[in-house]
Amino acid sequence: MSQQECPSTTSASRNKTSSPPLFRVLMHNDDYTTMEFVIDILQKIFHQSAPLAEQTMLAIHFQGVGQCGTFPLAIAETKVQEVRAQARKAGFPLRCTIEKE
């Protein structure tokens, strides 16, 4: 009986799995949404620490837009939906969008 050789796996022959494309979640400034509400959203939905949430909120306030995080598309879309739902529930017109990285 002959022995069959098992193909050895080398780094060159392995199939590499690619990471999904990432998307930035951006929050836009408006004249009605309170800074406290934005900080609360950044902490609850984007899991930012209090100092980081305040820094992000100030970037949104002074620059007109700020990045909340970078996620695969499905997660980014879910986070935008959560922000919109919370904002509407609280009566704020807060705008949140997705942009490909």
Q: To the nearest whole number, what is the mean pLDDT of the chain?
A: 90
| Over residues 28-33, mean pLDDT | 96
User: pLDDT tens digits for 36-73?
Assistant: 999 999 999 999 999 999 999 999 999 999 999 999 99
How confident is the model at residue 1, as a pLDDT?
52
58, 41, 81, 69: CA torsion to nearest 10: 60
How confident is the model at residue 17, as a pLDDT?
85
The residues, ordered by sequence, that sit 6+ positions from 86 with a Cβ below 8 Å of its Cβ are 41, 44, 45
Among 29, 22, 34, 38, which residue's Cα sits nearest to residue 77? 22
How confident is the model at residue 98, as a pLDDT?
98
Q: Which domains does the chain have, with CATH numbers?
A: 33-100 (3.30.1390.10)
* pTM (whole model) above 0.85: no
| Over residues 71-97, mean pLDDT | 97
Structure tokens at 40: 């609360």
How confident is the model at residue 11, as a pLDDT?
53
